[in-house]
Structure 1
Amino acid sequence: MHKIAVAGASGRMGHMLIEAIRASQDCQLAGALDIASSPAIGNDAAAFLGHASGVPVTADIRAALKNARVLIDFTRPEGTLAHIRHCREMGVNAVIGTTGFSEDQKAQIADSARDIAIVMAPNMSVGVNVTMKLLEMAAKALSTGYDIEIIEAHHRHKVDAPSGTALKMGEVIAQAMGRDLKECAVYAREGVTGERDPSTIGFASIRGGDIVGDHTVLFAGTGERIEITHKSASRATYSQGSLRAVRFLADKRKGLFDMFDVLNLR
Structure 2
Amino acid sequence: MKILLIGYGTMNVITAKLAEDAGHDIAGVIARGENHDIPYPAFNRIDEAQADVAIDFSHPELILPLLEDEVKTPLVIATTGDKETVISKLNDKSQNTPVFFSANMSYGVHVLNEVLKKALSMLDEFDLEMMERHHNKKVDAPSGTLVKLLDTALAHRDGSYPVYDRSDIHEKRKPEEIGVSAIRGGSIVGTHDVIFAKDDEVIEISHQAQSKEIFANGALKAASELVNKAPNFYDYNNLFEER
Task: Give the alignment's TM-score, normalised by structure 1.
Answer: 0.83
Structure 2 residue 55 is the aligned partner of structure 1 residue 72: yes
Deviation at 1:35, TM superposition (A): 2.0
Give the secondary-structure state (helix, strand or coil) at the position aligned to 1:132: helix
Higher helix share: 1
Deviation at 1:110, TM superposition (A): 1.7
Q: Give me the CA root mean square deviation.
A: 2.0
Deviation at 1:263, TM superposition (A): 5.3
Q: How does 1:219-258 map to 2 (within 5 A)?
A: 219-258=196-235
User: In structure 2, which of residues 181, 200, 209 is the aligned counterpart of residue 204 of structure 1?
Assistant: 181
Q: How does 1:1-266 map to 2 (within 5 A)?
A: 2-9=1-8, 11-25=9-23, 27-40=24-37, 43-44=38-39, 56-58=40-42, 60-62=43-45, 65-86=48-69, 89-143=70-124, 145-175=125-155, 177-179=156-158, 184-262=161-239
Deviation at 1:64, TM superposition (A): 7.4
In 2 relative to 1, CA 118–63 (structure 1 residues): closer, same or farther, beyond 3 Å?
closer
In 2 relative to 1, CA 226–117 (structure 1 residues): closer, same or farther, beyond 3 Å?
same
In 2 relative to 1, CA 66–29 (structure 1 residues): closer, same or farther, beyond 3 Å?
same
* Identity among equivalent pairs (%): 32
Query: Deviation digits for residues 194-248 of structure 1, max 9, x if unmatched?
Result: 1211122110010111111111000101221100011111110001110121122
How far, CA to CA, are the matches of 2:45 and 2:68 in structure 1? 10
How far, CA to CA, are the matches of 1:186 and 1:232 in structure 2? 25
Unpaired stretches in structure 1, ≥5 consecutive residues: 45-55
How far, CA to CA, are the matches of 1:31 and 1:85 in structure 2? 20
* Number of aligned residue pairs: 241
How far, CA to CA, are the matches of 2:127 and 2:115 in structure 1? 17
Deviation at 1:37, TM superposition (A): 4.8
Deviation at 1:73, TM superposition (A): 0.6
How far, CA to CA, are the matches of 1:249 and 1:37 in structure 2? 27
How far, CA to CA, are the matches of 1:63 and 1:248 in structure 2? 19
How far, CA to CA, are the matches of 1:69 and 1:179 in structure 2? 43
Q: Name which of structure 1's ranges 233-242 and 252-261 shifts more when overlaid on structure 2.
A: 252-261
Partners of 2:46 and 2:54 within 8 A in 1: no
Deviation at 1:150, TM superposition (A): 0.4
Task: Give the alignment's TM-score, normalised by structure 2.
Answer: 0.91
Give the secondary-structure state (helix, strand or coil) at the position aligned to 1:262: coil
Partners of 1:7 and 1:71 within 8 A in 2: yes
Q: Name which of structure 1's ranges 239-248 and 108-117 shifts more when overlaid on structure 2.
A: 108-117
Deviation at 1:92, TM superposition (A): 0.5
Amino acid at match of 1:38: N
Query: Deviation digits for residues 13-46 of structure 1, max 9, x if unmatched?
Result: 1111001101224x33222221245242xx42xx
